[in-house]
Amino acid sequence: MTQTLFDAYFPLILWTSLGLLCFRFLPQTLPRLLGRSLYWVGIPIEILALARQTDFSQSIALPPFITFTALLLGLGVAVLCLKIIQRLAFLPMAAALNSPAIQGSFILAAVLGNTGFVGLAIAPAFIDHTYLNWIVFYSLTHNLIGTYGFGVFIASYFARETHQNHWWVQLRDVFTVPTLWTFVLGYLTRDIELPALVESGLQASIGIVIPAAFLLTGMRLAQLRGWKSLKLAVMPAMLKVVVIPGLVGILTTLCLGLSGDRRLAMVLMSGMPSAFAGLIFAEEYNLERELVASCIVVSTVLLLLVLPLWLFLFQ
């Protein structure tokens, strides 16, 4: 397990540290430019490449259903926690959570998980190869419906004044997300052979987008204001890595009768750290960037602590 975690975390630590160290020598506008470039160009090209190489012939229905349920569960828990904290006015964080930008970042960090970069790197090591498709389809469903469906809807909603919010505005933002269209394009062109140069370029994009996302995280971490920035991240990080996967494990056992590796696969994937996409959305929609960056750090550290617990309880 130690070697698996090291292999998964080494690129994250390397590129994030590089962004953290180099930020002071870079233009202050670079993080926002990098975030928007990833949103409009980098991530869509990566998804196009992944859609072309993914085998959909062995599609199974239960993992996408569990993924969708976990997203709704996470959204409900996050909103409920926000409401409770806001009612407890004596808590230091209550005043901060009155800001729509912080509320949006709080929900994004608590709901969206890093099922791609971290999930697909860690979970397969603990799951029998028979159930690897469960992990792959969880990641696909989470990224398409969760990240670029729920995530964009939430970011769009909290980026606007209350009087400017209409359901059709959020739907417009969701349906104009470039990633969704490049996924459809990649899926429809799986059997079309592209020129070798184009195909190799698409595959190489994956090796560029992931380090760029880590660099962006490091740049935003360089702007954190110590404990003041981290303490607000503890609650959404706990929801993402501890509460939601725990509920998924309990509900899949009691309601669906799952056990063994099938159940563990769903628990591990639902408990991945806060997604880097949340930071990209924060850049694009002007939400609270520090909170998302802090949640990525706190939830990543928490995963190391709770992973042995999930293996003990649900394997």
pLDDT in tens, 245-298: 999 999 999 999 999 999 999 999 999 999 988 988 988 888 998 899 899 989
Asked if 91 and 85 count as a contact pair (C-beta separation under 8 A), the reply is yes
pLDDT, mean of residues 37-65: 79
Q: Which domain holds residue 151?
A: 2-314
CATH number at residue 91: 1.20.1530.20
Tell me what pLDDT residue 136 has.
81
Give the pLDDT of residue 58: 62
Q: How many CB atoms lie within 10 A of CB 253?
A: 15
The mean of the pLDDT values for the chain is 85
The helix/strand/coil state of 315 is coil
Give the 3-state secondary structure of residue 140: helix
The Cβ-side half-sphere exposure at 29, using a 13 Å CA radius, reads: 1
Query: By C-alpha distance, which of 303, 260, 259, 310 is closest to 121?
Result: 303
Question: What pLDDT, on the 0 to 100 scale, is given for residue 231?
Answer: 83
Band the pLDDT of 71: cuts 50, 70, 90.
very high
Is residue 145 pLDDT above 60, yes or no? yes
Do the beta carbons of residue 271 and residue 245 sit within 8 Å? yes
CA torsion sign for 196, 199, 203, 205 is positive
Spell out the SS3 assignment of 214-262.
HHHHHHHHCCCCCHHHHHCCHHHHHHHHHHHHHHHHHHHHHCCCCCHHH
Residues 170-183: tens digit of each pLDDT: 778 888 888 888 88
- Cα 86–91–97 angle (5° rounding)? 40
Six-digit token string for 104: 């949006």
- Check whether 5 has a pLDDT greater than 70: no
A 10 A CB-CB count for 254 gives: 9
Best CA proximity match to 52, nearest among 266, 154, 205, 233: 205
Most confident of the following: 34-38, 241-245, 274-278: 241-245
% of the chain at pLDDT higher than 70: 91
* Confidence (pTM): 0.85
Number of domain units in the chain: 1
The two three-digit tokens of residue 180, written as one number: 């969704």
In one letter, which amino acid is 60?
I
Gyration radius (Cα) of the chain, Å:
19
